[in-house]
Structure 1
Amino acid sequence: MSSPIHRRHLLVGGAVALIGAAPGQEPVTEALRTLERRSGGRLGVGIVDTARGTSAGWRQHERFTQASSFKLSLAAMILAEAERGRLALTDVLRWPRDDLLPHSPVTAAAIAGSLPIRDLARAAVVTSDNTAANVLLRRIGGPARLTAFWRSTGDRISRLDRYEPALNVTPPGTSLDTTTPAAMAATVGRLLRGKVLQPASRTVLGDWMIAADTGRQRLRAGFPNDWRAGDKTGTGGAAGHPIFVDLAFGAPPGRAPLIVTAYFESPAAMASAEAEAVLAAVGRIAAGSAK
């Protein structure tokens, strides 16, 4: 049996080698198809090249669980609400200690059980703090309000139905808490480069993504070292059916960015590091398409 490291090289090298075989989207699609086949899982990818105005991907219009990647849009909505005067980023929100969830590094360290809204939004993106996300969701009126925010931006697909941690598993036969790679790639593009947010807020959101510390081994690991890049991850799925998610932007200096969304439902026996290596391979494929 191949070692995890050897398998990672096979996954990455074989798929990325297909890029450059011919111009256009076909090499990207074929590389992603090959990567999925070799991984043994289910892969969904959306790639938008904002410099060229082109898009590509694989299973772009199929639904995948968002897991914690929804927190990027949640933070964007918080910034948008502040711009419209519906809340102040300096307002302090409180939560009972009983509401603390696992993986809440920022809120768990808040001795008083309270933080300003801006700090909670940053924590939701940078550290994927679960308690911060739930506190913010309650402040804006619940998951349905985030879904309404997506609709207001032109996203007719993405939906949020529940709070952390229930939202990490989509029950069979439902589309709860899901999106598609194409829909979310378009949404991330609008949040970072469109008119949903004012320029100052777009800068803040992008800076939070750059500071995020949960996705260093995912899409960004496949981007060249000199690229300016940021991301927001998600990890969820039912027992035996894990999903690894990453939403990223990246570009070399002076170039408009690529927007990449990736959703990988990995085989149950695959180690987390191997699953993240699949997303890193997606990053390399996307970066190769931008040359």
Structure 2
Amino acid sequence: MNVYDLTGRKALVTGGAQGLGAGMAQALSAAGASVVIGDLQKEAGQATADSIASSGATAGFVHLDVTDDASWEAAIAATVSRLGGLDILVNNAGLEISSLLVDLEPADIRKMLEVNLLGTLLGVKHGFRAMKPDGVAGQGGAIINIASVAATIAFPGISAYSATKSGVDRLTRVAARESGALGYGVRVNCIYPGLVPTEMGQALAVSHAAMGLSATPEAAAGDVIAATPLGRLGQVDDMADAVVFLASDGAKFITGTGLAVDGGMGM
């Protein structure tokens, strides 16, 4: 028996239209799960779902604003209806706006709090409601929240982002405790991705240089590599493989933990 086989599992991945989320959705599908992508980007999200489905897998798209309670309720209902259940929820949707502390804009802080922290809180809320024994899916399952290495280290220029991702880490542990205490049968874990050269990761390197924290974007990336014992940036599949692991029976006795997928940068 392959404990990493997700055949028969049903998954919802937020922010799955592109970047890390798309890679996670593809990896879950490759492991056997049926997948729905929840995102604001309809065209990109549908294209990613279509790409996954082209291999013969079951995949779909649902519009989801993670900051909106009613949108979550509708997206969960649509996912359960399409897939016939819900066993895996990946709270990946996130936003990073770089700024020196002296230049912080309240509006930017609120955006990150809403997407990164409120969005994940609402995801856990509605994931629990669906997966617990009296929920519409009712079979328990796994919730994987996407935090960041920024929750474990002091990295300049991303103070507000770091604070939101630290919140995701704490939320994960409280959620795991509540699930256990109330018999929900839902494991809750998070991962701490290192820097990955997705669109968001590249924007961070550019902004780091613009803030005077590195000479160039290339130097910013080089600084991260120099601080990483494995000597490279992360790749999308590094993060996606960790999500598949935490969703699988290979992690059946793991809950309330954060898994560093950062090449050792945050140790």
Asked if these proteins are the same fold (TM beyond 0.5), I'd say no
Greater RCO, CA 8 A, separation 6+: 1
- TM-score if structure 1 supplies the norm length? 0.27
- TM-score if structure 2 supplies the norm length? 0.28
